[in-house]
Chain A
Amino acid sequence: MRNLLIFVSKYNAFFLFLIFEISSLIIYIKYNSFQKATFINSSNQVTGNIYGRVNKLNQYLALRESNDSLMAENARLRNNLPSSFYADTAVKHTVTDTLYHQQYTYIAAKVINNSVNRANNYITINRGSNEGIAKDMGVICSSGLVGIVVNTTSHFSTVRSFLHKDTKISAMVTDTKDIGSMIWGDDLGPHTGLLIDIPNHVKPRLGEPVVTSGFSLFPPGISIGRISKLNAKGGGFFLNMEVNLSVDFSRLEYVYVVINKLAVEQATLEAQQKKDDQDATN
């Protein structure tokens, strides 16, 4: 026993190293599998507050750009107002009123922390569960798709940016309406994404717009980018294309969280179908 104590105290650095290294690795691995379940992240109260303060300063410096983008967006929205259309018949007006229910609503939020230069990038926004934001909601901005909410606290949420290795979003090329998936890897850089799983018979053209398909949690037709290179690496039976992203992630300031009112209904129905299939095979 005494010899053991002497041995431990002689090589105490090594044992301390083991203790601390193992505990940090445990934190790291646990964090990975539980998807941000730990409290050490940027939507935590302290770091969230500090980020909020620093962001106030940065916000002032970027006033000109944000004004420009707001003006552009105002103009676009004004074009969609009922008053800017000519109503040809009164009947049509009443029909649209009863036929359409609002499916998507939007909550505006401000980006208070962002990164584009790491393998897995996250965004923190200043709206949380108090405002009705929940996990797995889509996030867009005026120029296109941004990411998916992964974690919320009462006042902040963290969003998995599109620039993340696990991103996979159902996308569509606009000319032929063919469906594929958008992914990203850190060898691509923050302005490029990869469109995969488009069937080989499709002949897309350079510069063709790519939008969300509506099979995911985003509304259909949200802009993702334009095709910039037709034959990227990989492929096989499918075409892989590089897409020039329409959103400049390094300059994100204001985003909108998409609330899909029918998402729960759809998810329940699909889960039920899966269960029925399993029961049938058993």
Chain B
Amino acid sequence: MIRTLLINLLRFVALVFLQVFLLKNLTLYNLSTPYPYIIFILLLPFETPNILLFALSFILGLTIDAFYDTPGLHAAACVLMAMVRVMFISITVQKDGFDNEPEPTLSVMGFRWFFAYASVLTLFHHFFLFNLEVFRISEIQYTLLRFILSSVFTIFLMLISGFLFFRSKERK
């Protein structure tokens, strides 16, 4: 329990630093901007109570907003993503399957499930984020292009980090 808490705290700080000081300066052709900090919400344990899940998403979003000068923008997108996470997990995972494997990581759940999980959540998050940021329908083509390219970049980074922290003994 303490271990899970510590790991998640460390992950939160590390992801915010990575996002704000490295990836904020990174963009491909002014179109593709990665936001892999949302992997924090992806990797929270299955047993996380809903209120904690939403509160953490909200706080994570606000922290990123404080550095990006966009109060509420990332918070709104992260809270939407938490909702999609709750629905996705309730549809695809049986409740009684986890005694000692509490986290939805790539090494626990396998590539196919994790890829679908990461893609669906990222697409929802980015779609909401980019449209809320631009907030007008007249530039929809440009926004959609940015949304798709950024999602590809983010999912790519997420899969890489999944393989980087791959622990083979956990595999079923």
Q: Which residues of chain B are near A30, meaning CB under 8 Å?
A: 72
In angstroms, Cα B30 to Cα A122, docked, is 16
In angstroms, Cα B72 to Cα A186, docked, is 21
Q: Which residues of chain A are near B66, meaning CB under 8 Å?
A: 40-42, 44, 46-47
Q: Does residue B58 face the partner (Cβ distance < 8 Å to A)?
A: yes
Q: Does residue B27 face the partner (Cβ distance < 8 Å to A)?
A: yes
Q: Does residue A28 face the partner (Cβ distance < 8 Å to B)?
A: yes
Q: Which residues of chain B are near A189, meaning CB under 8 Å?
A: 30
Categorize the interface residue count of chain A: 35 or more
Q: Which residues of chain B are near A186, meaning CB under 8 Å?
A: 30, 142
Interface residue count for B (Cβ, 8 Å)? Answer: 34
Q: Does residue B24 face the partner (Cβ distance < 8 Å to A)?
A: yes
Q: Which one of B2-10, B131-139, B154-162 is at the interface?
A: B131-139
Q: Which residues of chain B are near A38, meaning CB under 8 Å?
A: 71
CB distance from A83 to the nearest CB of B (A): 43
Q: Contact: B79 with A119, CB < 8 Å? A: no
In chain B, positions 58-109 with a C-beta closer than 8 Å to chain A are 58, 61-62, 65-67, 69-73, 75-76, 79-80, 82-83, 86-87
Q: Which residues of chain A are near B151, meaning CB under 8 Å?
A: none
Q: Contact: A117 with B30, CB < 8 Å? A: yes
Q: Which residues of chain B are near A44, meaning CB under 8 Å?
A: 66
Q: Contact: A117 with B62, CB < 8 Å? A: no
- Contact A40/B50 with A54-B21, A115-B24, A118-B133 known, Cβ cut-off 8 Å: no
A-B CB contacts (within 8 Å), total count: 89
Q: Contact: B86 with A13, CB < 8 Å? A: yes
Q: Does residue B51 face the partner (Cβ distance < 8 Å to A)?
A: yes
Q: Which residues of chain B are near A21, meaning CB under 8 Å?
A: 76, 79-80, 83
Q: Which residue, A19, A21, A23, A122, has most C-beta atoms of chain B within 10 A?
A: A21
Residues 1-36 of chain A, each 1 if its beta carbon lies under 8 Å from chain B, else 0: 000000000001110110111011111111100001
Q: Does residue B57 face the partner (Cβ distance < 8 Å to A)?
A: yes
In angstroms, Cα B27 to Cα A54, docked, is 20
Q: Contact: B67 with A42, CB < 8 Å? A: yes
Q: Which residues of chain B are near A27, meaning CB under 8 Å?
A: 62, 71-72, 75
Closest B residue to A40 by beta carbon equals B71
Q: Which of B21, B55, B65, B142 contacts A187 (CB 8 A)?
A: B142
Q: Does residue B33 face the partner (Cβ distance < 8 Å to A)?
A: yes
Q: Which of A16, A19, A46, A117 contacts B33 (CB 8 A)?
A: A117
Main SS class of interface, B: helix
Closest B residue to A118 by beta carbon equals B133
Q: Contact: B72 with A42, CB < 8 Å? A: no
In angstroms, Cα B68 to Cα A122, docked, is 9
Q: Which of A12, A46, A190 contacts B50 (CB 8 A)?
A: A12
- Contact A31/B50 with A17-B79, A187-B142, A189-B30 known, Cβ cut-off 8 Å: no
In angstroms, Cα B51 to Cα A14, docked, is 11
Q: Contact: B62 with A40, CB < 8 Å? A: yes
Q: Contact: B30 with A28, CB < 8 Å? A: no
Q: Which residues of chain B are near A17, meaning CB under 8 Å?
A: 54, 79-80, 82-83, 86
In angstroms, Cα B51 to Cα A186, docked, is 38
Q: Contact: A117 with B72, CB < 8 Å? A: no
Q: Contact: B69 with A158, CB < 8 Å? A: yes
Q: Contact: B69 with A24, CB < 8 Å? A: no
Q: Which residues of chain B are near A14, meaning CB under 8 Å?
A: 83
A-B contact pairs, 25 of them (CB 8 A): A12-B51, A13-B50, A13-B83, A17-B54, A17-B79, A17-B83, A17-B86, A20-B54, A20-B58, A21-B80, A21-B83, A24-B58, A24-B75, A25-B72, A25-B76, A26-B72, A28-B76, A41-B66, A42-B67, A42-B69, A46-B66, A122-B69, A186-B142, A187-B139, A190-B30
